[in-house]
Amino acid sequence: LRFLVGVGATGFMLTRYLVIMEMAGPRYRTLLGVTDDAFFAVSGMLCTMVAYFVREWRTLLLIYTFPGVIFLLLAK
């Protein structure tokens, strides 16, 4: 379970940010960095709302890591 949490969260967030910065031209890097941070803030609020309704922490971790696992399975 801890492995899935690590794979689904930390590595994905850093890689996503680096890919965004490398793919964007110098003119748009600031805008895309701010947009990425805004999505991060909104996802933090959504995680809080999900945690309000799902009280079991193990179930909550599985819910949070599920998108990352699906992404890894679909990535080539």
User: Who's near 28: CB < 8 A, 6+ residues apart?
Assistant: none
Residue-wise pLDDT tens digits, 6-41: 776 677 677 888 888 899 888 999 999 899 889 889
Alpha helices in 1-76 (DSSP H): 2-8, 10-23, 29-53, 57-74
What is the span of the domain harbouring residue 67? 1-75
Amino acid at 44: G
Number of structural domains (the chain) is 1
pTM of the full structure: 0.61
Average of pLDDT values for 50-72? 91
d(CA 49, CA 66): 17
Tokens read off for 7: 């794979």
